Amino acid sequence: MNDVPKDRIKVALLGCGVVGSQVVRLLREDAEELAARVGAPVELAGIAVRRPQRHRDVPADLLTTDAAGLVARPDVDVVVELMGGLEPARDLLLDALKAGRSVVSANKALLAEEGEALATAARDSGADLYYEASVAGAIPLLRPIQQSLAGDRIRRVAGIVNGTTNFILSAMESTGAGYADALEEAGRLGYAEADPTADVDGYDAASKAAILASLAFHTRVTASDVHREGIREVTAADIASARSLGCTVKLLAICEQVPGGNGAAGDVVSARVYPAMIPKSHPLASVSGAFNAVFVEADAAGPLMFYGQGAGGPQTASAVLGDLVAAARNKVIGGRGPRDTAYAHLPIQPIGEVRTRYHVNVDVHDRAGVLAAVASVFAEHGVSIATVKQEGGREAADSGPGDDEDHGGGRGTDATLVVVTHEAPDAALRATVDALSGLESVRGVASVLRVEGLGRPVHALGGAQ
């Protein structure tokens, strides 16, 4: 238990892959400094792996395939979990916490799904639970939210939390490549897994958004509470359209505490992940490659930006070691780390109530009356149009929503109407898109992208937000 001071800290490491091997290296190379910072030597008690023969650079006497047995050893003080996945990691960490052993984890999927169970076990036994490395790699982010801003009220946490998708979208922006080619390049350079589903479909970012929202708003948020969309449908044409409007496209994780809609009393939590246009004047627009960046906006502190390497073995290991030092130091002095505080119990806002702006490409037959018909559908569903531009067909022209100068004739050629809206609820926009698809003069809705100012005016898109 934490109330018995320790003169030596024994660590059980679960998993020794890209990150785990770097943790082992740093524990060896920086042993003296770590001991000085902790107040006692930090030693590996054992390393649980599936295939010991693959780890020839680790002393054989440290390796074991019995993870449960390692966690249960009475001399183990801290369990560091880097194996990933929900099981058996969940049971192993619950066993460790219930036995009073502190836990350090980088397992974002597990924490997003089972954070409440883990936090409860830690609280009941007096053990520590640290997971800085689960979000944004080496970037110190969770600890500032949980501790440095503990006396403030956070309103929004938003940013780029997945390096693979940011690399892909940055490549599409800089080279004009399509999604498939940019994904292939990301794989060739090692930025994308052989199966990139978790990244490109937004699952990774959604898990991180759940963790961020839970900490920021003192409300338990799981990955299933996070609205999730990936980047597979983003096209080179979308990137080009964003550029022409002074914007760029990023996969954003956005967590907000906002007033409840539909007459609801009190605030609600909105947590969502999707690709969106953001103005190039926003600092997030310049975050390129595999880097991450997160904005935290608080009442007193104002906007804060956290930027750096969001993944990688040494980078993530740095965050793991930071947590390990904190957990070990608490063992040495008999103290405890900060507790999770999910006291607020705020409702989760449905995506249909989330208000934002939209960029909609509508493929139409270029003939008289089309613009009026399209504009009337937006109006019927309460979605106000900021600007509309015609591309292709007859000579392209900028028009206002009330301008139905379709140049007469009805020659039957095709064109695209690029519509940018004012803020509207997501449900209203979805209903608008469904109705547009039913118009005889509309060939189809080619793309829909949200437009996020993230607190800044979007002058290029027809007025301030």
Tokens, residue 442 = 């509309």
Phi/psi at 262 (nearest 5 deg)? 55, 40
Phi/psi at 245 (nearest 5 deg)? -100, 10
Tokens, residue 175 = 């080279």
208 tagged catalytic? yes
- If one counts every other C-beta atom within 10 angstroms of the C-beta of residue 182, the result is 26
**Residues 6 or more apart in contact with residue 371 via CB below 8 angstroms:** 388, 390, 399, 403, 404, 405, 406, 417
Half-sphere exposure of 336 (CA within 13 A, CB side): 14
Q: Helix, strand or coil for residue 425?
A: strand
CA angle 123, 336, 338 (to 5 degrees): 70
Long-range pairs for 141-146 at CB < 8 Å and ≥24 separation?
141/212, 141/294, 141/306, 142/211, 142/212, 142/215, 143/322, 144/296, 144/304, 144/306, 145/212, 145/215, 145/216, 145/296, 146/215, 146/338
Q: Helix, strand or coil for residue 223?
A: helix
Distance of CA 289 to the CA centre of its chain: 16
Considering 10, 108, 208, 250, which one is annotated as catalytic? 208
Which among 118, 109, 163, 121 is positioned nearest to 138, based on CA atoms? 163
- Residues marked active site are found at 208
